[in-house]
Structures are given as structure tokens and as C-alpha cells.
Structure 1
Amino acid sequence: MFKVRWEMEVAKGKEAKKIVLTKPFSIEGESDAEPFYRAPNLLRRLLSLLKNVRPGSDLTNFQLPPVFNLPKSQLQCYGESVYCTSSNLLSKCNSEQSPVDRFTSVVAWSISTTRPSSFGVAPYNPILGETHHVSKGYLNVLLEQVSVNPPVSALHATDEKENIEMIWWQQPVPKFRGTSIETEVHGKRMLKLLNHGETYEMNCPRLSIRILPVPRMDWVGNVNIRCPETGLVAEISYTSSYSLLGFGGNRKLIKGKILDPSLFKVLYEVDGHWDKTVQVKDTKSGEIRVIYDAKEVISGLKTPIIKNAEGVLTSESAVVWGELSEAIMKNEWEKAREEKEGVEEREKKMVRERGMKGESWVPKNFRVSYSKDTREWNCSPIHKWVPLAPIIAP
């Protein structure tokens, strides 16, 4: 059964809100609740759903019926990749003494944001203005959906004790390829170690969903990490290999290198599996050491808990989708359909009302701009520090 924490709050003069939080994915399995809420014949239903979609089509605004939804928003999934950990890799990034060691730890942290996915189901598409605010220890994480057409999510996280700041913005672009769906994630991720005056810029791999001949989901593609202050660069490749019929093969592979371009030198060779262990080999000494162990970092993850129900905003993902998530977990598909349509209709109504008033929507937590020349978004947080959240990750 899907482990869930929820509670009701009745505010003065306002309708009661339901807050539903679900357990994050971990390496123990795609989900300990998947059979509990997922409908049967999912592959057949998915093929039927996509039969009228042409190869090459952009699926960005494609709406899935609730039977294909995970009981959580994509905004929550982004946040979980940062705050749902069993060990504090960020602290290790900050505490390393040398620039090379800090860079290597950042590579390990970047790998830790890669999380398992489940075939045939996807999180909800966030609505405009939706937020997700969670704290773990001294790390406070805040996300906001700053655009829906195209969908752009922004993240700001700060740790005042470690003096660390994280700024992300990303735009998923899924396209149908006939027998697969490829989702590229445009945008940028930045991790700032303020004590050291270092900024690490990186991208993330793309998600490949193979429908035939054997259903699979894999993270694939190239991730580049660089630190302008030290000049260090990492080139990491996510790959999966298969046999002729799609069975077997070697999945979830990571290979790459850490370089010092100023010396025209490869410092470390990177090798492993992102769901197991990743190691580096010192090209000078030949020494091999493990820099990332998925079992230590993304196993035994627990459901976040509500510490202050009154402080949970109505824009919070766990509130926006609370009724729908509960219906999905109870296999109440007709109610789930009604709840999802209700959320979508309320969003359309707000768009119409803004249009009638001649108002433009402005994000509450980020300054957002778009360059037509580069076709790139830029999201910068309004506030220096993210405050303590009413939802806590244990």
C-alpha cells in the first residue's frame, strides 16, 4: 500500500483543504504501492491512448487520464530529487578541502538527483502558480511553476548553515517517436558553494520511455558539469544497452571523465551504475574509489510530514492535487476523473478572468525572463534565503 500522510484543516471563512503527501521513489523498487493504485492492462491502454498521435509530435500539453497518473505532481518529483536523501551529500561538497575534491563530490551529488521512474504512469502536469515547499534539516527547498505554455518549473533551495544555494529552472519537452517517448529537459541547474565562491552549472539527462518491444524507462544522454571559477569540467554519459529483442542488456550505466582543460588533462575516469555505485579512477595513480552509493543515498526514503498545517499554502502541490491523489490511491477512477477535470477547469477559469481584466500573471517567488534569440528561459529567485517550510522531510 502507498504510504501516505494526510490531514484536514478548516480555515476561518475558507473551505477545508486536504493535504496529501506520498512516499518518494527509491531503489528498493519503482514504488511499494504500484500494484495498489495502478489499473490493469496499462500497456494496452497506453497504446490505445497514443494510437492517434503522430511520430514526432510534441506531447508537452498532452493530458493523461488519471489511470496513467502517479499520485503526485511533477513539481514534487523535482523537489524530492533534492530533499529526499538518506545522506547529506551537499555537506560533503562543502566540506572538501581542495577544488578537485569538491568538484568530484558535486559530480556525485548530481548523480544522486537521478531517481527511478515507473513505466506507464506519470506525475501530474503542474498548474500555473503551483508551489512546493519542503525543508530537510537546514536545507529549505521552494519550487514554483512559473509557466505552463511551455511548462517551466523553477527551484530555489538554501542551506544557511552550510552557506549553500541551489537555483534550477527546467522545461520538459516530450516527443512521440513511434515506439518510444523521448523527453528532453531544457534549462539549467546551478549549485553555489558560497563559502568557496564556487558555482557549479549542469544539465540533466533525458528520459527515454520505450513502449515496444519491451516496455522500459531509462535516463539517457550526456550531462556536462562545469565550475567557471576553477575551470574544472565533467562529461558524464548515461546509457543503456539491450539485446536484439529488447531483453537483457546492461542498464543504468554511467561513464565519463573529470577534466582540467587548462592542463589538457583527464584527472579521473568515471564508471558505474547510477542505481548502484559509481567510482572514479585516478588517471595518474590508478587508484579507484567509490564516490556514490545509491543504496546509501536513495534507499529507505520516507514520506514527508506536515509540521504546520496552517502554514501550507493553497497553491501547495499536496493541496492542489490532494483530492485527486487520494482518489487514485483508492482506485476510485470516476472520482479521480472528476477531481482532475475540476483542477483543470479552475485553472482555465483563472486564465479567463485574468484575460478579462487585462492582467498578466506574475510568479510570486521568481523573476522570469525569456530570450527569443537564444530561446532560453532565465529564473532568478526574489528572496536571498528560502524560509523554513511547513512540510518536513524526515
Structure 2
Amino acid sequence: MAANKDQKQGGGGGGFFSSIMSSVSNFGSAMHKSVNGMIGSEGLEVINPEGGTEDAEVEAQKGRWRQEDRDSYWRMMQKYIGSDITSMVTLPVLIFEPMTMTQKMAELMEYSYLLDLADECEDPYMRLVYVASWFISVYYALQRAWKPFNPILGETYEMVNHGGITFIAEQVSHHPPMSAAHGENEHFIYDITSKVKTKFLGNSVDIYPVGRTRLTLKKDGVVFDLVPPPSKVNNLIFGRTWVDSPGEMILTNLTTGDKVVLYFQPCGWFGAGRYEVDGYVYNAAEEPKILMTGKWNDSLSYQLCDLEGEPLPGTEMKEYTYFAHKLNSFDTAPKKLLASDARLRPDRYALEKGDLSKAGSEKSRLEEKQRAEKKIREAKGQEFVPRWFDASSETAPTPWGDLELYYYNGKYTEHRAAIDKSDSIEEVDVQTTEFNPWQFGDLAAE
């Protein structure tokens, strides 16, 4: 008996747990309040996920912004309403966290042991539970609602000393901003080409993940494809910033046709449904095999189910618990770090130390260098060529547009092997090593 797509595919209907969770979270949307009388912001919504009863203007004053920063930034940003602001470089460091997107791409590796379990697992449906749990684990980081720095073209991020993984990410395009990453250990190979589209809505921004993810488990060679849900950053300027990711996550085993469809519930009145996720593992005939439910900021549970999506008698629900994420540090860095590594960025490092003024000036200086490097390239009639990833003539369709693909070329593996064999491996000092991703001209010396 095949599952009814209308009921099962959304993950929010047809099953015992799904029906309960949907009835709660669909009670209403988060508390929306219009901000009036604040620097031309009439009609702007401040969305309080806790559904508090405070006056909108009182709620709008909360958050990280100082009043003068908030007002001047709002004046500047009004003209961008409805636009894609992905490539904007004029954002104040006040809204940043001391990481860049190349570093953030590596956060997914924290719970890589789940992929080790998946590779060793003989049950094809439990294998999907492990892989889906791994992909969901990264959403824990969305509780940090601050923006990562846009990577400089040619910037990299290396990670070692974690689960036997070798990880490399590289900023492969500046316009549009695109990153590529490759991670690997004895159990899996992970590749991603990442690009996002955004839509600025005044006090919020919608984020659409236009990317392609491929995960290969080495034991059986099965390949997985991920389509993540979009995200929404609420109260970007007025109020306390928070992130929601309402929508479907679809994880497909391209080798067998089995898949997971999980529905991320939208935040409702007084926080109802916030963080909730539920859905099913399906076989290739679209019959539910395992139900999954939980919170993406806390834990996930799973239980065998019947063809109607109901828990099987005599089975119990089992839980995975997630722990606090750690910011990327030099503990996971190789001793001889690439000069293009994001850890060495002076703006990121200054923000990490709490020096907002220096972080802002260093950010501007790096952006000027990036423009200078582009002029040098154009004067020489040459294009930027990524070092660790090769551009492809292929494009991949996504729900939000076509994606240009980049493939890992294997050169980093050779580079790291040569470095590790060297007798003279020096440790890099973040305070004295100059960040240098530039391909043309010795800009680091300027």
C-alpha cells in the first residue's frame, strides 16, 4: 500500500505524532506587532516568538542595536526592500558573529559520528535516520542569529583533528557569492556547492539555500541528496533577532530511491511549534517505515511505524540528543595553515576579541583589497581560478533556481599529505600571520 502523498509528503499529516504537532503549531503564527512612530518604520512588523504582550515600540528597542545605529541603518536599508541583499558588503559588524561562511560550512561536521554509524548500519531505513539526524544537527547553530562574514574570494577553511575528517572549504565566486566544500574520513565523502538567495522584507529577510549537497557512504557506495528548507531571519533591525526554518527537508537516497521527508514547523502563538520537526522515512514505493519527531535545537526521536504512519505496537521511541555547538577554533586547524584560512582574517579576529571598531575598519580594508585584486586580474585579462575546486559546465536545478556546480579536484588531499610528511611543520600564529587569499599581486604586503 503506497502512502498518500498529500498526507505523508509534508510530514505534517497522516501520522499520530504529525497530527498532534500540526494541530498545536497551526494554532496561529507568532505574535506580530506593527512598529509605529519610529523613523519612518510605520507598518513594519516586530515578531516576538514568545508572544509577549509588551508594546511594539518597547519590543522593537530590544536586541543588539544601539538606537542611533538602528535608526541610521534603517534609513539606509529601506530602499532595498524586496531585493536580494546577498552580495551587500556595507553591513555593519554589529550584526556579525566572529565566523565567516567558510567556517560555518564546517559546523555540520560536529556530529559526524552519526555518519560513521550510518556507514556501518545494515538497515537502509535506519541509515536514513542517522543521515537525516546529522543534517538536522546543524540547525542548532541557527539559535545564533548573527550573520557570518562574507568570505573573501579565494578564502579557505581547513579542519582536521575531528573524527578523522579532512575538511576544506573555499570561496569560489564573489558575484554571485558561492562556496564549495569537501569533507572525508574512512566512512563518508561529503561535497557541497553552496549559494543562497535572499529577499529583504524590511525587518526580516528570507533565505533560500540554492545549493547541491552530495553525501556518499563508502561501505556500500550509496549516495544521498539533500534539499533543505528555507530560513527566515526575524527582527533584523527592530527587536530581538531570531531565526525560523519553516518548510520541508527532503533527503533522498539516490541509489535506492528511499527518502526522508521532514517538516519544520513554523513558530506559532506564544512559541507553539517553534523548533518542532516531524516526518517519515519512506521506502522507494513511498510507504512510511519510520516516523521521526523532535526539536531541531534539542533532540530527535524515531520509532518504527505501520503503513498508515502509526507507531508499531511493541516498539519504543528512541532519542538522539544534541549538545552545544562550539565555535571553530585553532584546535581543529592543521599546524601549517593555509594563509587564506578564515581564522586568520583580522576583522573576524577583532570581533572575536570584542573590538567592534577595529573589526569594522579591518572589514573595510579587506573589501578594498578584494576590489584591488579584481582590478589586477581584469588588467591582466585573467579570471579567478579556485585552487581546490574546479568549475563545471553543469548546472543543477533547485527549488529556487539553477546552480553552477564546482567539484573537488583532489589537490588539497595531495597538498596536505605532502605537508604532513614534511619534517619542518611550523605552527601558525594568528596574531602574526597575514591573511592572504589573493591570487594576483602581493596585496598582503600593502
Shorter-chain TM-score range: 0.7 to 0.9
Structure 1 residues 137 and 257: CA distance shift in structure 2, 3 A: closer
1:83-94 map, 5 Å:
84-85=110-111, 88-94=113-119
* Matched pairs, number: 341
Please report how far the alpha carbon of residue 115 of structure 1 lies from its aligned counterpart in structure 2 after TM superposition: 2.9
One-letter identity of the residue aligned with 1:141? F
More helix by share: 2
The residue correspondences of 1:336-347 to structure 2 (distance < 5 A) are 336-347=359-370
How far apart are residue 301 of structure 1 and its match? 7.1
TM-score with structure 2 setting the length: 0.70
- Match for 2:392 among 364, 369, 381? 369
In structure 1, which of residues 118, 140, 165 is the aligned counterpart of residue 189 of structure 2? 165
Equivalence for 1:271: 293
1:292 lines up with 2:311 in the alignment? no
2-structure distance, mates of 1:123, 1:279: 30
1:184 is the counterpart of 2:208: yes
Percentage of pairs with the same residue: 22
Question: 1:349 is matched with which residue: 372, 383, 386?
Answer: 372
Deviations 1:326-353 (A, max 9, x none): 3224443332222111111111111000
Q: What do the CA deviations read for 1:221-278 (whole angstroms, capped 9, x no partner)?
A: 21111112221011111123222xxx4333111111111132x411122211011121
CA contact (8 A) 1:281 1:289 kept: yes
Letter in 2 for 1:270: M
Q: Which residue of 1 aligns with 2:5?
A: none
Q: If each structure's strand is expressed as a fraction of its own residues, which one has the higher value?
A: 1
> Do 1:133 and 1:142's aligned partners in 2 also have CA atoms closer than 8 Å?
yes
Is the CA contact (8 Å cut-off) linking 1:46 and 1:120 kept in structure 2? no
Is residue 383 of structure 1 aligned with residue 410 of structure 2? yes
Pair 1:60 & 2:83 matched: no
Larger Rg: 2
- Which one-letter code corresponds to 1:137 in the other structure? G
Within the candidate set 67, 73, 76, 2:103 is matched to: 76
Q: Is the 8 A contact 2:248 2:261 kept in 1?
A: yes
Query: Contact 1:42/1:120 (CA < 8 Å) preserved in 2?
Result: no
Change over 3 Å in CA distance of 1:158–1:47 after alignment to 2: farther
Structure 2 residue 161 is the aligned partner of structure 1 residue 133: no
State the SS of the aligned residue for 1:57: coil
Work out the CA distance in 2 between the residues paired with 1:215 and 1:372. 34
Distance in 2 (CA, whole Å) between partners of 1:345 and 1:176 is 25
Using the TM superposition, give the Cα deviation of residue 118 of structure 1 relative to its aligned residue in structure 2, in angstroms.
5.2
* CA offsets 1:153-185 (integer angstroms, 9 cap, x no match): 1110111x32x1111111021211233111111
Partner SS for 2:265: strand
Q: Which amino acid aligns with 1:293?
A: T
8 Å Cα contact 2:100/2:348 also seen in 1: no
What root-mean-square deviation, in Å, do the aligned CA atoms of Structure 1 and Structure 2 show? 2.8
Q: Residues of 2 paired with 1:216 and 1:128: CA distance?
A: 29
Tell me if structure 2 keeps the 8 A contact 1:208–1:219: yes
Q: How many angstroms does 1:299 deviate by? A: 5.2
Which one-letter code corresponds to 2:138 in the other structure? T
Q: Which runs of 4+ in 1 moved over 6 A?
A: 388-392
* Aligned counterparts of 1:97 and 1:156: Cα–Cα separation in 2: 25
Cα distance in structure 2, aligned partners of 1:40 and 1:228? 44
In structure 2, the partner of 1:97 is 122
Q: How far, CA to CA, are the matches of 2:242 and 2:68 in structure 1?
A: 15
Residue by residue over 1:89-112, the C-alpha shift from the partner in whole angstroms, topping out at 9 and shown as x without a partner, is 121111111222212211111112
3-state DSSP class of the match of 2:363?
helix
1:209 matches 2:236: no
Amino acid at match of 2:406: C
Does the Cα contact within 8 Å between 2:158 and 2:333 map onto a contact in 1?
Answer: no
Q: How far apart in 2 are the matches of 1:339 and 1:137? A: 34
User: Is the alpha carbon distance of 1:271 and 1:59 closer, same or farther for their aligned partners in structure 2, counting shifts above 3 Å?
Assistant: same
Structure 1: runs of 5 or more not aligned: 1-38
Secondary structure of the corresponding residue to residue 131 of structure 2? helix
Q: Which of 224, 227, 230 in structure 1 is aligned with 2:253? A: 227
The letter for the 2-side match of 1:103 is L
Query: 1:149 aligned to 2:175?
Result: yes
Matches within 5 A, 1:298-309: 298=324, 303-305=329-331, 308-309=334-335
Matches of 2:364 and 2:197, distance apart in 1 = 23
Q: Which amino acid letter does the alignment assign opposite residue 326 of structure 1?
A: Y
**Is the 2:251–2:261 contact (alpha carbons within 8 Å) kept by the matching residues of 1?**
yes
* Contact 1:55–1:178 (Cα < 8 Å) also in 2: yes
Worse-superposed segment, 352-361 or 234-243: 234-243
- SS of 2:141's partner is coil
In structure 2, list runs of 5 or more residues that go unmatched.
1-62, 307-311, 429-446
Give the letter aligned to residue 142 of structure 2. S
> Structure 1 residues 67, 302: CA separation in 2 closer, same or farther (over 3 Å shift)?
closer
Please report how far the alpha carbon of residue 75 of structure 1 lies from its aligned counterpart in structure 2 after TM superposition.
0.9
2:337 corresponding residue in structure 1: 312
Query: Which amino acid in 1 is paired with 2:264?
Result: Y
Structure-2 separation of matches of 1:142 and 1:47: 40
CA distance in 2, matches of 1:184, 1:145: 18
**3-state secondary structure, aligned to 1:115:** helix
How far is 1:114 from its partner?
A: 1.9
Conserved? CA contact 2:65–2:94, under 8 Å: no
- Residue 384 of structure 2 aligns to a residue whose secondary structure is coil
Report if aligned partners of 2:125, 2:281 keep a CA contact under 8 Å in 1: no
